[in-house]
Amino acid sequence: MSVIELSMGSWISAAVGVAARLGIADELATQPRTDAELAVTLGVSRDSLEAVLSALLMVGVFARDEDGRYRNSEGSEQLRTDHPQSLRHMCMLLTGLYAQGCGSLLEAVQTGKPALNARYGMGLYEYLEQDAETARIFDRAMQEVARPVAAVLAEHLPLENVRTIVDVGGGNGELLKGILAVHPQLTGICVDRADTCRRAEQALRESGDEDLLGRLSFQAADIFQECPSGGDIYLLKNVLHDWNTETAVQILRSISTAMRDRPADAVPPLLVVMDPVREYDQGAALRPLIKMVIGEQGTGERTEADIRRETAAAGLQVISISQLPADLAAVACVLA
Ligand SMILES: C[S@@+](CC[C@H](N)C(=O)[O-])C[C@H]1O[C@@H](n2cnc3c(N)ncnc32)[C@H](O)[C@@H]1O
């Protein structure tokens, strides 16, 4: 690709963002439509919509039949909200808040500060507390990327004698929902920031799923300081990647302290850290850039040696490392 094509990549990305926001793939899922029909349904300008759709056709997102009707293509299917591997909200997050952070990349390079901080004067989670709409998109995006991992964990977690799983920084509980659905004997505790727990609890109540309501609870906590005890297995997925070593060790210590707080005859607790680790990460080349935009100051790419050092500093011992979907490594730890 030429430098001009590369420089215009953000225009394509913005067009994907518009399609995701407007829910165009959802509209086309029922039947193909002309741009005029779509514009009326979506309440937008026909000419502008056509410009966006033409750009997206060029990259295989949506297709146009000979009669001028647009339909979904393989490339647009994951923009459907109800697609089993939907990434609609992840696309909204990447082309929304994260792209705005990228707009301050030069400042980040010049100052060494995270780009999001340079732009908004605050870190990711502080920002989300002040922008309810983006926080909702963030939760849904995390839910989308958690789904494939939940399926693998439901099959491979060692569940003998396990009653309770605690997901630390578990967002709206998607990982636990996926595991609990397959294992009716389990209960789950999802630990996250207060506002995330509030939204997740409300969504669960509104779902009317009595079984899950009885087995899944949300507990607000600052995981830098504390974590609920009582878990036989602790999960920590896609949390450490936001934080530098010092903060990561603080989070791991909160968990190891909770793991120690249990009767002597209880099954030894297990922690599974799921995070990008360089040796297991196909997308490793972009990772430092992502951290520079949304991570805490000083958050670097983690290698296997780093994660072993950080877990050891928190009183944990790594017993295995394996590959998971989504370029994650699963690092299983017990108390040292
Ligand atoms: C990148 S998301 C990952 C969510 C989920 N584990 C997943 O993989 O889908 C990180 C999560 O950590 C939570 N988090 C960040 N800081 C926290 C804090 N101080 N205490 C509790 N949770 C926190 C966020 O609210 C968010 O849900």
3-state secondary structure 106-142: HHHHHHCCCHHHHHHCCCHHHHHHHCHHHHHHHHHHH
Compute the C-alpha angle 165/170/175, nearest 5°. Answer: 65
Residue 198: its H or E element: helix 194-207
- Cβ(64)–Cβ(56) below 8 Å: no
Report the pLDDT value the prediction gives residue 284, as an integer from 0 to 100.
80
> Is the C-beta atom of 89 inside 6 A of ligand 1?
no
> Is the C-beta atom of 142 inside 6 A of ligand 1?
yes
CA of 5 to the centre of ligand 1 (A): 35
- Cβ(276)–Cβ(302) below 8 Å: yes
> Is the C-beta atom of 222 inside 6 A of ligand 1?
yes
Report the pLDDT value the prediction gives residue 170, as an integer from 0 to 100.
97
Mutate to test the pocket of ligand 1, among 134, 142, 234, 237 (most ligand atoms within 8 A of CB): 142
> Is the C-beta atom of 169 inside 6 A of ligand 1?
yes
Burial 200-230 (b: 16+ CB within 10 A, else e): bbeebeeeeeeebeebbbbeebebeeebbbe
Report the pLDDT value the prediction gives residue 300, as an integer from 0 to 100.
86
From the alpha carbon of 222, which atom of ligand 1 is closest? 20
Question: Which residue's entry shows tokens 């296997």?
Answer: 304
Dihedral sign, Cα of residue 209, residue 236, residue 198, residue 221: positive
Cα–Cα distance for residue pair 143/176, rounded to 1 Å:
11
Report the pLDDT value the prediction gives residue 264, as an integer from 0 to 100.
86
Report the pLDDT value the prediction gives residue 49, as an integer from 0 to 100.
98
Tens-digit pLDDT string for the chain (336 aa):
899 999 999 999 999 999 999 999 999 999 999 999 999 999 999 999 999 999 999 999 999 999 999 999 999 999 999 999 999 999 999 999 999 999 999 999 999 899 999 999 999 999 999 999 999 999 999 999 999 999 999 999 999 999 999 999 999 999 999 999 999 999 999 999 999 999 999 999 999 999 999 999 999 999 999 999 999 999 999 999 999 999 999 999 999 999 999 988 898 999 999 999 999 988 888 888 999 999 999 998 899 999 999 999 999 999 999 999 888 999 999 999
Give one word for 132, left, alpha or beta, with left for phi > 0 and alpha for psi -120 to 50. Answer: alpha
CA of 215 to the centre of ligand 1 (A): 21
Report the pLDDT value the prediction gives residue 265, as an integer from 0 to 100.
87
Half-sphere exposure of 136 (CA within 13 A, CB side): 7
Query: Closest Cα partner for 273 from 175, 155, 163, 204?
Result: 175
CA of 127 to the centre of ligand 1 (A): 13
CA of 208 to the centre of ligand 1 (A): 25
Report the pLDDT value the prediction gives residue 287, as an integer from 0 to 100.
87
Atom 5, ligand 1: which residue's CA is nearest? 170
pLDDT tens-digit profile of 145-182?
A: 999 999 999 999 999 999 999 999 999 999 999 999 99
Report the pLDDT value the prediction gives residue 244, as an integer from 0 to 100.
96
Domains (range + CATH), the chain: 3-81 (1.10.10.10), 145-282+296-335 (3.40.50.150)
From the alpha carbon of 239, which atom of ligand 1 is closest? 10
Tokens of 289: 């850039």
> Is the C-beta atom of 170 inside 6 A of ligand 1?
yes
Cα–Cα distance for residue pair 44/5, rounded to 1 Å:
28
Tokens of 162: 């396990």
Atom 3, ligand 1: which residue's CA is nearest? 238
Cα–Cα distance for residue pair 16/107, rounded to 1 Å:
26
CA of 263 to the centre of ligand 1 (A): 28
CA of 289 to the centre of ligand 1 (A): 20
- What is the rounded end-to-end Cα distance, in angstroms, of the chain? 50
Report the pLDDT value the prediction gives residue 285, as an integer from 0 to 100.
84
Give the per-residue SS3 of 281-329: CCCCCCHHHHHHHHCCCCCCCCCHHHHHHHHHHCCEEEEEEEEECCCEE
Cα–Cα distance for residue pair 60/191, rounded to 1 Å:
40
Atom 20, ligand 1: which residue's CA is nearest? 222
> Is the C-beta atom of 196 inside 6 A of ligand 1?
yes
